[in-house]
Chain A
Amino acid sequence: EAGVAQSPRYKIIEKRQSVAFWCNPISGHATLYWYQQILGQGPKLLIQFQNNGVVDDSQLPKDRFSAERLKGVDSTLKIQPAKLEDSAVYLCASSLVVGEPDTQYFGPGTRLTVL
């Protein structure tokens, strides 16, 4: 079974530039999550989708971050414009069903450096 795929693995940009991350979840997984993991901290949920609907985006900085899940499968997370404090690893995860205590399967992450 293929795991969660993310690209790119690394990205370096200057502040005020835009960046986009892509995630392909495990086939058949209804729920998709984007987390931000700042160095030395645990992952923080940015947004959670069930199929192509948003379940929770309470911690997503909506003035600069946006996310969509195309046809309930792939997802893109965008930052525009980036700030220095956005430097972090962005993790995508998927799980089979929402509402159940299901296991989340994580991708390798995208390490973003904002200069």
Chain B
Amino acid sequence: AQSVAQPEDQVNVAEGNPLTVKCTYSVSGNPYLFWYVQYPNRGLQFLLKYITGDNLVKGSYGFEAEFNKSQTSFHLKKPSALVSDSALYFCAVRRGLGGFKTIFGAGTRLFVKA
């Protein structure tokens, strides 16, 4: 069975500092991994995805994520946080090669302080 864990309910970071939002997953076979962001009163927006290849994936708004197969992790990172990055972030996993269902984590609220 697939599962996703986001161990932190909230991450607080000062503007200009690097940020990391953690995600670990469990899936049989090779995973497809995604990050989505949700702003208040808006639907989820796609940030980036890992399918295969380079373990470091770059996405929208300066975000990147690193796939680590041995640690089954896919942490979201940004070198310098902005106040406008404050939002709810969701990690999601889908089983590759024939998998259809995407499983979302519970979400991590990022708060960037000016």
Contact = CB atoms under 8 A, between A and B. Distances in A.
A98 B43 CA distance: 21
Interface residues of B, number: 25
B22 interface: no
A12 interface: no
Interface size on A, as a range, is: 20 to 34
Interface in A67-107: 91, 93, 98-99, 101, 103-107
15 contacts: A41-B106, A41-B107, A42-B4, A42-B92, A42-B107, A43-B44, A43-B90, A45-B103, A56-B100, A58-B101, A91-B43, A99-B100, A101-B32, A105-B46, A106-B36
Interface of B: 4, 32, 34, 36, 41-46, 49, 51, 90, 92, 94, 96, 98, 100-107
Given A42-B92, A42-B105, A48-B100, 9 more contacts: A4-B43, A35-B104, A42-B104, A91-B43, A98-B100, A99-B100, A104-B44, A106-B45, A109-B43
